[in-house]
Structure 1
Amino acid sequence: MLDIGSSELLLIVIVAVVVIGPKDLPRVLYKLGQIIGKGRAMTRHFRSGIDEMIRQAEMEEMEKKWAADNARIMAQTQEAAPVAEAEAVTEASEASPAALPAPSASPVPEDAPALEVDAGPVPAHAPIHSDAAAKTANPDEAKSQGGSAA
């Protein structure tokens, strides 16, 4: 980036010490570092904005391509759908009713009572585990509370 050799850097340091003075040099270098840091931050921000605009343009191009591909695929499937429906109707009409499997018996009798479960609303502060499960899950806490771990 900047082609500054060691001899050129030494010359810059000597001139800075002579012009600024050794007493104010640390403060000047600190301010110079702050200015360079702000410049880098602005450059990074500008670059990220440009990159974001490029990404958005690429996404728009991809969305247009995907929309065109989707329209092409939908047109192909709509052309093929009537042919498939016609084949299914033909196969169904050719099959005899005896060839179809008989409906299976339900494993639950029809006169069995319906099972109704109403748990009601669960409060937000309700514990997930029961107290017994919590005590056995963490035996150290159970010992500190005076209980024994099972």
Structure 2
Amino acid sequence: MFGVDTTEFLIVAIAALIFIGPKELPATMRAIGRWVGKLRGMARHFTSGIETMMREAELEEMEKTWREENARIMAQYPPDAHYPEGERQNPALPPFMDQPDLPLEAPPAPDADPTPPKDRELP
């Protein structure tokens, strides 16, 4: 993580054992662990704050783009304008008559008997 190799870590552990002593070493390690935990918490809080600011900036940019596009569309097609039924709004879209004829009803069941299967007599 910090470029500490196992031999370097072993040397630091032996030095801590010699200088701090085996009696206070567990308490010292707990204190160091708390400090590291606090530092990690602060770093996590800082990182989440930065990410939140970035998301908010992206949302503001998207809202600005959406407002500009909405204003352009509303200027092109004002809501109080008269649009005759026969006139196409957007010539880039295919005309309605070019759409394939779709069935308006569901296809008939493959079985000619209209009674539900659960009400039929078993053969």
| Normalised-by-shorter TM-score class | 0.5 to 0.7
Alignment match, 1:34: 34
In structure 1, the residue corresponding to 2:46 is in which secondary structure? Answer: helix
Question: Computing the radius of gyration over CA atoms, which structure comes out larger, 1 or 2?
Answer: 1
**Whole-Å Cα distance in 1 between the matches of residues 3 and 70 of structure 2?**
54
The structure whose residues are more often helix, as a share, is 1
**Structure 1: gaps spanning 5 or more residues:** 88-150
Residues 30 and 79 of structure 1, relative CA distance in 2, 3 Å threshold: closer
**Whole-Å Cα distance in 1 between the matches of residues 79 and 38 of structure 2?**
61
Equivalent residues, number: 87
TM-score by length of 1: 0.53
**Whole-Å Cα distance in 2 between the matches of residues 5 and 15 of structure 1?**
15
Q: Which amino acid aligns with 1:54?
A: M
Report the CA distance between 1:6 and its aligned residue. 1.3
Instruction: List structure 1 segments (4+ residues) > 6 angstroms apart after TM superposition.
Output: none
1:77-123 Cα offsets, whole Å, 9 max, x none, are: 22894242696xxxxxxxxxxxxxxxxxxxxxxxxxxxxxxxxxxxx
- 1:1-150 counterparts in 2 under 5 A? 1-78=1-78, 81-84=81-84
Report the CA distance between 1:60 and its aligned residue. 0.9
Q: Percent same amino acid at aligned positions? A: 48
In structure 2, the residue corresponding to 1:10 is in which secondary structure? Answer: helix
1:8-37 Cα offsets, whole Å, 9 max, x none, are: 111001000000000000000001000000
TM-score by length of 2: 0.64
**Structure 2: gaps spanning 5 or more residues:** 88-123
